């Protein structure tokens, strides 16, 4: 039992003894309730309150019981309070309230469930890209590692609805499931989809046979590290220059690949690529267009018309994102 719970229990016990003492003096000695409460408090905290009463034998026996029980409860409460301060649980409780308030103020953030090797890398990369991240994990050691890094977190079971609600799932845009067991990611995806229908859910799968199950459970995308690792190794053998090119673009060292969603009211909506003059305005090349109906047009022609909710996949020099944001 933690120190905070012991302290709360000790307070309940102390209040209980005060109530029992007050009622006891009223019943046994016929004392007025206010005077009985005064005598009880003085007896419990100083062992001298009953001297103001002419006690009967039953009253004397009751007072002895009250002194023993009351002093014991006061001592227990005092020890619990000292332990609460010394153990740091009070500070942890205040920190939890502070972190939860910050989470409640978040919008359009990413929830990363599981702070293992993969979850840690995902969280750090997302933060490096400017995304707001909330970690969910129930391992005390991992939580202790998160706190010094200044990352918002929720300690709890990621498959529980209450935990995901604390993480602000109603206001989140993406949930990343990186728990080590496929069964946990499966159940988490199912729970998250039930809480928010339009949430983008990306799940990790250790086994390729789990991919279809995760998709049926509600995941939008499934990532299998083994498959990705095998594909990358084979690509390094057969197409090393292509891999180097993509790595440079993704990392944004000299140029970068980015995406731009055409929102309502955008100056690009309803215009062809030629008329939009993207190359002249932001110095990017459109390599693909993912249409709102799910179709993807690779290497679109200059006459391709851009519509609202289309997503442009572009490649350009460094800081493409900031220039696209100005459109």
CA distance 264 to 262: 7
Has residue 321 got a pLDDT over 80? no
Write out the residue limits of the CATH 1.10.287.70 domain(s) in the chain: 3-87
CATH topology (fold) of 252-324: Alpha-Beta Plaits (3.30.70)
Q: Quick check: 235 and 299 in contact, CB under 8 A?
A: no
Has residue 164 got a pLDDT over 90? yes
pLDDT the model gives residue 10: 76
Higher pLDDT, 132 or 285: 132
pLDDT in tens, 6-51: 777 778 888 887 888 888 888 888 888 888 888 878 877 776 655 6
Neighbour tally for 291: CB within 10 Å:
14
- Angle formed by the axes of helices 57-87 and 3-29, to 10°? 170
Q: Do strands 221-223 and 133-137 pair parallel, antiparallel, or not at all (unpaired)?
A: unpaired
Write out the residue limits of the CATH 3.40.50.720 domain(s) in the chain: 106-228
Please, which residues bridge with residue 113 across strands? Answer: 136, 177
CA atoms within 13 A on the CB side of 323: 19
Mean pLDDT over 155-168 rounds to 91
Tokens of 44: 């419990």
Confidence of residue 52 (pLDDT cuts 50, 70, 90): low
First to last CA, the chain: 57
Has residue 110 got a pLDDT over 90? yes
Q: DSSP assignment, residue 272?
A: B
Q: Quick check: 43 and 31 in contact, CB under 8 A?
A: no
CATH topology (fold) of 3-87: Helix Hairpins (1.10.287)
Compute the Cα dihedral for 275, 281, 284, 290 and give only its sign: negative
**Architecture field, domain 106-228:** 3-Layer(aba) Sandwich (3.40)
In the chain, how long is the greatest CA-to-CA distance?
105
Q: Quick check: 133 and 155 in contact, CB under 8 A?
A: no
Tokens of 229: 């690792």
CA distance 6 to 170: 34
Write out the residue limits of the CATH 3.30.70.1450 domain(s) in the chain: 252-324
């Amino acid at each position: 039992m933690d120190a905070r719970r012991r302290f709360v229990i000790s307070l309940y016990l102390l209040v209980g003894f005060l109530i029992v003492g007050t009622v006891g003096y009223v019943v046994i000695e016929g004392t007025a309730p206010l005077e009985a409460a005064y005598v009880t408090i003085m007896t419990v905290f100083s062992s001298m309150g009953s001297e103001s009463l002419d006690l009967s034998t039953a009253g004397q026996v009751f007072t002895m019981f009250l002194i023993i029980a009351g002093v014991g409860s006061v001592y227990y409460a005092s020890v619990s309070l000292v332990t609460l301060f010394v153990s740091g649980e009070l500070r942890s409780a205040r920190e939890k309230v502070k972190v939860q308030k910050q989470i409640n103020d978040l919008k359009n953030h990413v929830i990363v469930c599981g702070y293992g090797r993969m979850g840690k890398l995902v969280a750090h990369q997302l933060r490096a890209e400017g995304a707001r991240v909330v970690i969910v994990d129930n391992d005390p050691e991992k939580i202790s590692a998160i706190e010094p890094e200044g990352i918002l977190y929720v300690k709890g079971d990621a498959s529980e609805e209450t935990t995901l609600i604390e993480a602000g799932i109603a206001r989140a845009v993406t949930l990343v499931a990186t728990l080590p067991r496929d069964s946990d990611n499966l159940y988490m995806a199912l729970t998250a989809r039930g809480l928010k229908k339009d949430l983008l859910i990306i799940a990790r799968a250790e086994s390729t046979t789990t991919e279809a199950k995760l998709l049926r459970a509600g995941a939008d995308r499934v990532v299998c590290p083994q498959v990705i690792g095998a594909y990358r190794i084979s690509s390094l053998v057969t197409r090393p220059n292509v891999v180097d090119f993509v790595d440079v673009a993704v990392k944004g060292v000299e140029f970068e690949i980015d995406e731009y969603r055409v929102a309502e009211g955008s100056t690009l909506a309803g215009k062809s690529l030629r008329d939009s003059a993207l190359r002249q305005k932001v110095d990017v090349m459109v390599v693909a267009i993912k249409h709102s109906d799910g179709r993807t047009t690779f290497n679109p022609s200059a006459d391709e018309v851009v519509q609202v909710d289309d997503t442009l996949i572009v490649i350009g020099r460094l800081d493409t994102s900031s220039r696209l944001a100005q459109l």
